[in-house]
Amino acid sequence: MSAPRDETKRPSGESFRLPTRRPRWVTALAVLMLLAGARLFLGSLTDLRRLGTGRSMAEVSLDGLANAEQEVLIRGQIALDEAVDRAHPVAAWTQAVARLALALVFLFAVAAVFSDDPRARQASVWAAWGGLALHGGSGVFLLMVVRHGVAGALPVLQQVAAQAHARAGDTPPASVDLAQLASTLMVQVPLLTSSLGVLFSVLLLVTFGGRRGRLFYNGSAEADHG
């Protein structure tokens, strides 16, 4: 008698049957993992290239900007990020490599989900733990290290603002306003991104690593042994 079409094998060799219909939550989370993995992959490659070549991305041409304020926001974010990387090169390289590794785990998990690979649940849980480590570590680094370097990086933002407003023929913002902006770009915005990454990782753990994930990926095998 031939095996069912949806039957596959675990690495241990035991039979494993996936339900014929993939739940919506699995598809939705797989799409989110794809977006997160693609963002991490492209961002890490850009960071590794920049760290390897030493080329500043803050000087690239930016077309289509409406005013000097937009230019300060975009160039200022890039310039401040590069200032942090110059001050902490080991941490910058570590984060870039870790982001690339996490991106590959995310993309593998997505491929496993859509190919009905029984390793999809395990890969998604690995991605969740990796995300917790990366984003949680980034948040701690922001609070313990970067937050105390805002004042030292302020001249970088002042230079960007002076150049942007000079091209527009405007007066640069006051130093107190730029100091607040530097704190926002260096600490608050990255901290929000890290917090969202932690929340998404927890969501993956609760779903793929929790009862729902066990029922979907292990339910058929448990039924066979029952």
The better pLDDT of the pair 217, 85 is held by 85
Residue closest to 46 by CA, chosen among 96, 98, 85? 96
Tell me the average pLDDT across 191-208: 96
Q: Where are the domains of the chain?
A: 22-57+72-217
Q: Identify the band that residue 14 occupies on the pLDDT scale cut at 50, 70 and 90.
A: low
Stretch among 46-55, 97-106, 108-117 having the lowest mean pLDDT: 46-55
Across the chain, mean pLDDT equals 85
Stretch among 82-96, 133-147, 173-187, 210-224 having the lowest mean pLDDT: 210-224
SS in 3 state form for 45-57? Answer: HHHHHHHHHCCCH
Task: Note the pLDDT of residue 175.
Answer: 87
Does the pLDDT of residue 121 top 70, yes or no? Answer: yes
Tell me the average pLDDT across 112-136: 95
Write out pLDDT tens, residues 149-196. Answer: 999 999 999 998 888 888 777 788 888 999 999 999 999 999 999 999
pTM for the complete prediction? 0.81
Does the pLDDT of residue 5 top 70, yes or no? Answer: no
Does the pLDDT of residue 48 top 90, yes or no? Answer: yes
Does the pLDDT of residue 12 top 90, yes or no? Answer: no
Q: How far apart are CA 61 and CA 75, in angstroms?
A: 10
Task: Note the pLDDT of residue 126.
Answer: 97
Q: Identify the band that residue 57 occupies on the pLDDT scale cut at 50, 70 and 90.
A: confident
Task: Note the pLDDT of residue 221.
Answer: 45
Tell me the average pLDDT across 64-69: 69
Amino acid occupying residue 104? L
